[in-house]
Structure 1
Amino acid sequence: MDTVSFRLWPPVGIGAPLLAGWLVTAQWGDPVDLGGWRVPVGWALSLAFVVWNGWSLWLFARHETGLLPGQATQSMIEEGPYRLSRNPLYVGLLALYLGVALLVPTFWGLVLLPAAVLLVRWGAIRPEERFLHERFGAAYDDYTRRVRRWL
């Protein structure tokens, strides 16, 4: 088998808590004002997402390996953002999560960020790590010793 089986598609695992936080904010409001600092920080995080994830996605294309569920994993990527994080796409999505939560704004979305982290870890990262260990063996194990899961 050369494809990973996700328990939960990562954008759903990350997006659902943000949506829930936004719905709570829309219904009952936020208990605190996040202040004016949130706008430049939110835009900076959103821009960082575009650059970081764009670079990561470009590497997937360059290595001709699958990105979406059901696409075959042909190779391990160990360059660019993958030298700093084993999961740069998820790091980028979480940066976007924070950026959007700050720009909307939704305090409750910020509070639910740990839920997004746990969902993506359980729903995507653990199955991916198991799959990559089975697919690439010692090479992947060595990579996990050299590169952190997040940053």
Structure 2
Amino acid sequence: MDVVPFRIWPPVALGLPLAVGVAVTGVWGDPVTLPAAAGPLGWLLLLGFACWNGWSLWLFRQHRTGLLPGQPTTGLVERGPFALSRNPLYLGLVVLYVAIALLAPSVWALCLLPVGVVALEWGAIRPEERYLRARLGSAYDDYAGRVRRWL
């Protein structure tokens, strides 16, 4: 097996609930109004996403391993964001989701975030963990024992 057999491609797992939430807000409105701080917080989260995921992708490139879903993994990256989370890119996508929901603004999108996280966990993270265990063996098991899945 050269690549992760995703059940759901990660951007779809989060993008679909986000799009549904924003669409529901557009059609029916939100049950409550987000505070004025939602916009600036959204921009701050967007900047955080760009830095965090940029750093993570840079480390992948430095280690010459697959950058994107569908590319083979050739080794473990254990520095930087990967020392804090086994899934920093997925964590970054969750932050991006919240940023977009705040900037939209869409309370419904925020309410659907758990659906996206469950879809991401089931559709991408679990299959990826099985792939990494099969591909990297005890090195991945040791890493998984030291570093939490999320934070």
TM range (shorter): over 0.9
Aligned to 1:138: 138
Question: Structure 1 residue 60: deviation in Å?
Answer: 1.1
Question: Structure 1 residue 117: deviation in Å?
Answer: 0.4
Aligned pairs for 1:110-149 (under 5 A) are 110-149=110-149
Aligned to 1:8: 8
Aligned pairs for 1:2-151 (under 5 A) are 2-151=2-151
Question: Structure 1 residue 2: deviation in Å?
Answer: 2.5
The 8 Å contact of residues 85 and 150 in structure 1, kept in 2 or not, is answered as yes
Distance 1:108 1:74 in 2: 39
Distance 1:10 1:96 in 2: 13
TM-score (norm 2): 0.97
Deviations 1:71-128 (A, max 9, x none): 2211111111000000000100100100110011000000000001001001100000
Poorly superposed stretches of 4+, deviation over 3 Å: none
Amino acid at match of 1:70: G
Aligned-residue CA RMSD in angstroms? 0.8
Point out where structure 1 has 5 or more consecutive residues left out of the alignment: none
Amino acid at match of 2:62: R
Point out where structure 2 has 5 or more consecutive residues left out of the alignment: none
TM-score (norm 1): 0.97
Point out the more displaced range, 81-90 or 130-139. 130-139
Question: Structure 1 residue 68: deviation in Å?
Answer: 2.7
Distance 1:69 1:106 in 2: 28
Give % identity.
61
